[in-house]
């Protein structure tokens, strides 16, 4: 599979979403942060915007749901056009059932962990997933500093994935930049969400390539 870069639209100009998506045309995914002001203290965008964005861009959407009751809402994001949907295990009532439903609808099923949530209790769930997201900042706001304390958890997660021989992507989200991506890749991550680093760059597409090269150099 190799290294994948998923620019976070949270850092873009929301008034021009279609144009902002076009500025990262060589991205592997568009990372769409959905926040409900309940699970996290911020409110962003929801289903109608995701559906419209899917029609405006050919880049597949990676929807990260930072919302309460994902068991109810997550499947609708597949119907809205998302190719990958990540729910938070801290909010899901039945994560296995939800992951299976997302897969049955044709999307990749992802499960997210906050920085303080350990991976070990969920080892048996890993075969039900297509991606595991380790948050490297507290979810809710972009532009936060990378939390180095999450690196050991990334390593432990990669060890568990390898232990079970799974084709499971390991994503990191939060504070990813040219200064931090190599550490994440060395720890075992292979899918990288980058918001400010990409959208604040003079040339977002060039930054995506620089991030990809920096991560690939650790392989």
- Above 90 in pLDDT, residue 85? yes
Q: Read off the pLDDT band of 41 (50, 70, 90).
A: very high
**Eight-state DSSP code of residue 191:** E
Which residues are marked as active site? 33, 173
- Distance (Å, whole) CA 145 – CA 139: 12
Residue 1 has pLDDT above 80, yes or no: no
**Among candidates 111, 107, 153, which has minimal Cα distance to 129?**
111
pLDDT given for residue 151 in this prediction: 98
Mean pLDDT for the chain? 96
pLDDT level of residue 29 (50, 70, 90 thresholds): very high
- The confidence score (pLDDT) of residue 140 equals 86
pLDDT at 208: 98
Beta bridge partners of 61: 30
**In this predicted structure, what is the pLDDT of residue 128?**
98
**pLDDT of residue 219 exceeding 90:** no
What confidence category does residue 54 fall into, taking pLDDT thresholds of 50, 70 and 90? very high
Cα–Cα distance measured from residue 113 to residue 48, given in angstroms and rounded to the nearest whole number: 26
pLDDT band of 76, cuts 50, 70, 90: very high
Per-residue pLDDT tens over the stretch 109-165: 999 999 999 999 999 999 999 999 999 999 988 889 999 999 999 999 999 999 999
| Cβ neighbours around 214 below 10 Å, total | 19
- Rounded Cα–Cα distance for residues 121 and 104 (Å): 25
Cα 166 to Cα 126: distance, rounded to the nearest angstrom: 8
Mean pLDDT across the stretch 92-103? 98
For residues 154 and 168, the answer to whether their CB atoms sit within 8 Å is no
Q: What is the structure's pLDDT at 110?
A: 98
The 10 Å Cβ neighbour count of residue 187 is: 20
pLDDT given at position 181? 98
What integer pLDDT is reported at residue 143 of this predicted model?
82
Helices (H), the chain: 17-22, 47-56, 70-79, 95-104, 151-163, 181-187, 196-199, 204-216
Q: What would the mean pLDDT of 64-93 be, rounded to a whole number?
A: 98
Q: 95 by DSSP, 3-state: which?
A: helix
pLDDT of residue 69: 98
Return the number of other C-beta atoms located less than 10 Å from residue 156's C-beta.
17
Structure tokens at 94: 């039945």
Please state the rounded mean pLDDT for residues 177-202. Answer: 97
């Amino acid at each position: 599979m190799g290294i994948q870069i998923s620019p976070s639209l949270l850092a873009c100009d929301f008034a021009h979403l279609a144009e902002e998506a076009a500025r990262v045309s060589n991205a592997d995914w568009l990372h769409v942060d959905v926040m409900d002001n309940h699970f996290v203290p911020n409110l962003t965008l929801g289903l109608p915007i995701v559906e419209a964005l899917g029609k405006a861009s050919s880049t597949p959407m990676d929807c990260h749901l930072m919302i309460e009751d994902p068991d109810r809402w997550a499947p609708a994001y597949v119907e809205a056009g998302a190719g990958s949907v990540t729910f938070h295990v801290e909010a899901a009532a039945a994560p296995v059932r939800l992951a299976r439903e997302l897969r049955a609808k044709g999307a990749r099923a992802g499960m997210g962990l906050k920085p303080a949530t350990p991976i070990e209790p969920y080892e048996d769930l890993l075969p039900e997933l297509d991606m595991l997201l380790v948050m490297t900042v507290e979810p809710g706001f972009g532009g936060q500093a990378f939390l180095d304390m999450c690196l050991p958890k990334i390593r432990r997660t990669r060890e568990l994935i390898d232990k079970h021989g799974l084709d499971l992507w390991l994503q990191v989200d939060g504070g990813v930049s040219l200064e931090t991506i190599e550490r994440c890749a060395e720890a075992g991550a292979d899918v990288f969400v980058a918001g400010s680093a990409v959208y604040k760059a003079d040339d977002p597409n060039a930054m995506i390539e620089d991030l990809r090269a920096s991560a690939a150099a650790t392989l």
